Amino acid sequence: MCGLARTTTSPDTFIFMGGDASHHGGEFRPTEYLPLPRELDPPPLKRRGQSICPGHLLQDINPHGSATKPMYYVTSLLSHDKKIADWTIDGLGEFDAHENVLLLLAHDDAVVDPPQFDFYPKPLNDWHEKGVAKKVKWMFLGDLEEAAKAKEKVPLK
């Protein structure tokens, strides 16, 4: 079950509460609607002396080598109904591409570690104004730190 809540009307902003529709941002990011940026700021990877992460580092570790296909895919072993899981995740990608929608999932710790906004009982109406979605959208890529380091160690052919 998912929910969509309007948080402001001028401009129109929404929070999409995705519950267990997905368990990781890499299942629905990047997409054709929201490609991997050329530069990520803040950087999701901890790289000494760099305040911006070049997107090509992450595109290189994408299993598809793509800036428009998700980093992960759901297998039939991990879903009750893969066809419905894929359909749901595709829908998340469409919502996620809108700048006026903050997508929150039950298992996405990007907004809680470190906290990106005040939690209940405080309202979330100022998430867009504070730039929360822009800050957290690509933070899941930090989970791929070791894969990026390993890829950099592989000599070019």
Predicted model pTM: 0.84
Q: Which pLDDT does position 75 carry in this prediction?
A: 87
Q: Which pLDDT does position 90 carry in this prediction?
A: 94
Confidence bin at 110 (pLDDT 50/70/90): confident
Q: 26 and 71 in contact (C-beta within 8 Å)?
A: yes
Q: Which pLDDT does position 51 carry in this prediction?
A: 65
Region 128-147: what's the mean pLDDT? 87
Residue 97: other Cβ atoms inside 10 A: 18
Q: Is 46 a residue whose pLDDT tops 80? A: no
Q: 15 and 4 in contact (C-beta within 8 Å)?
A: yes
Confidence bin at 154 (pLDDT 50/70/90): low
